[in-house]
Amino acid sequence: MATVKRASLLVDKSYRIGEVDPRMYGSFVEHLGRCVYEGIYEPNHSSADTKGFRQDVANLVRELNVPLIRYPGGNFVSGYRWEDGVGPREKRPQRLDLSWRTLEPNEIGTNEFVEWARSLKAEVNMVVNLGTRGPEEARDLVEYCNHPSRSYFSDLRRSHGYPEPHRIHTWSLGNEMDGPWQIGHKTAYEYGRVACEAAKVMKWVDPHIELVVCGSSSGVMPTFPEWESTVLEEIYEQVDYLSLHSYFGNPENDIKNYLAKSLQMDQYIRSVIATCDFVRAKKRSPKIMNLSFDEWNVWYHSREADTKVEPWIVAPHLLEDVYNFEDALLVGCLLITLLKHADRVRIACLAQLVNVIAPIMTEKNGPAWRQTIFYPFAQASAYGRGTVLVSVVSSPVYDSKDFSNIPCLEAVSVHNEQDSVLTIFAVNRDNKSSLEVECDLRSFNGYKPVEHSVLANPDLKVTNTRDNEAVNPRSAKLPILDEGRMEVILAPLSWNVIRLGK
């Protein structure tokens, strides 16, 4: 029988971190592997609509309630000619994609993707190529997408069958330009200058857009955080967000260390905020730079298999991580971490959406299914809307190989005042003991528990397959709330969603 440890959580509606921007629950579609072709788009599939998009996949995306999708990359965008993906399909060229050593048929491009995203009530975060291209091509794409008419590129869009502008609001200035692996890799100063000039002309075409500038591609880059500082020196007043990217894995098979890696994400965010605020102070600017964590996920399972994939084919099986239960637990911890920084992290994109390190998997001419990480993300997206509150946690701690003082209880609370709902997201990191958590909720007079959902499994390595969804949430006994104090039991190694309402 599992032992029980005690922890406490204090939440008061008066102590707020910040409002959750809906774009916190964004995702990412890149022309990589089977994300687009055989993922969202498969014209011969039995569920495909008249435009070739799989509706079984679309329905699962709707379950995730994704409000923003970053597109078309990723490393892919740094060699992409957006003009290849518009106009009649029969005239579109097939190109070598040097970033992933594949063939790109350009059957899907800007217009088709925007139309698909809008059918799912999602906006597009459009990324421009600042690798092989520059300000001119970025300006042209904004004109093509957002200008109404009576200019060359807006009229070109109209001639392609889209008389109304797409009115894309969020744009990103390239991808991971600090990485030597990136086509068109630049120094921080070189990138800062070209991004500044691109930002200028893009906003001259459409002053209403918001722009994301590339930060470091990870917090372990040797140029971090000097890259951020140098780039922001050049572009601070022209952009609205700075990007962050981070991926996590458990190749050493150490569950205690693995579940602590959300602390690494937390420190990365704090360092980027400090750097942004340093540049703000140096420039004596009243403007606060917010963050776009536009690539984050678990990624390590598929790395060996990817070395054996045949190059120069369309839609190879690349980056197809099959996620297990412990991956779902870490994704839960990462979501909690992002919410704890809702005052500055306004955009976040789970990378990616389908097949490629994704919550949704598909089989060609076959079914689509939910991976284990689908559920923490879907529940956070459904219930993590509103105001993030300061959550004061007292918890047993442990040490691991890379971290110390790791709290067994990881938790955050979100108050949806309009609907009178308080949601507590909590992970018990302890692999042996249940946690008996005493919650002080005295400021929520009149509220009562309405749901306790638990994601737990004794097998950390169990996965979901096309035929067996072994990992999915179950309902637990409702906790008892008495005079503003609630006691709830969290199973060992579990993701929990506790909802209270009036």
Cβ atoms 95, 84 nearer than 8 A = yes
Query: Is the bond leading into 225 cis (omega within 30 degrees of zero)?
Result: yes
Sorted by sequence, the CB contacts under 8 Å of residue 76 that are 6+ apart come out as 30, 31, 32, 97, 99, 100, 104
Q: Please tell me the distance from the alpha carbon of residue 144 to that of residue 162, in angstroms, as a whole number.
A: 10
The H-assigned helical ranges of 436-482 are none
User: Which residue among the candidates 176, 234, 320, 410 is catalytic per the annotation?
Assistant: 176
Q: Please give the torsion angle defined by the CA atoms of residues 133, 134, 136 and 142, in that order, rounded to the nearest 10 degrees.
A: 90
Cβ atoms 297, 357 nearer than 8 A = yes
Q: Please tell me the distance from the alpha carbon of residue 370 to that of residue 470, in angstroms, as a whole number.
A: 10
Place of tokens 């990138």: 191
Residues forming beta bridges with residue 424, ordered by sequence position? 413, 498
Q: Please tell me the distance from the alpha carbon of residue 482 to that of residue 275, in angstroms, as a whole number.
A: 45
The H-assigned helical ranges of 120-187 are 135-146, 152-159
Residues forming beta bridges with residue 41, ordered by sequence position? 37, 53
Q: To 10 degrees, what angle do helices 325-340 and 374-383 make?
A: 30
User: Does the annotation mark 83 as catalytic?
Assistant: no
Cβ atoms 57, 368 nearer than 8 A = yes
Measure the N-to-C terminal CA separation of the chain; round to a whole number of Å: 36
User: Which residue among the candidates 295, 320, 326, 410 is catalytic per the annotation?
Assistant: 295
3-state secondary structure 301-313: CCHHHHCCCCCCC
Cβ atoms 346, 338 nearer than 8 A = no
For 255, counting Cβ atoms within 10 Å of its Cβ (0-12 exposed, 13-18 middle, 19+ buried), the class is: middle
CA angle in degrees (0–180, nearest 5) for 402-435-2: 95
Q: Please tell me the distance from the alpha carbon of residue 382 to that of residue 497, in angstroms, as a whole number.
A: 11
Place of tokens 């965008």: 77
User: Does the annotation mark 436 as catalytic?
Assistant: no
Tokens of 162: 């889209």
**Cα 226 → chain centroid:** 24
| Catalytic positions | 176, 295
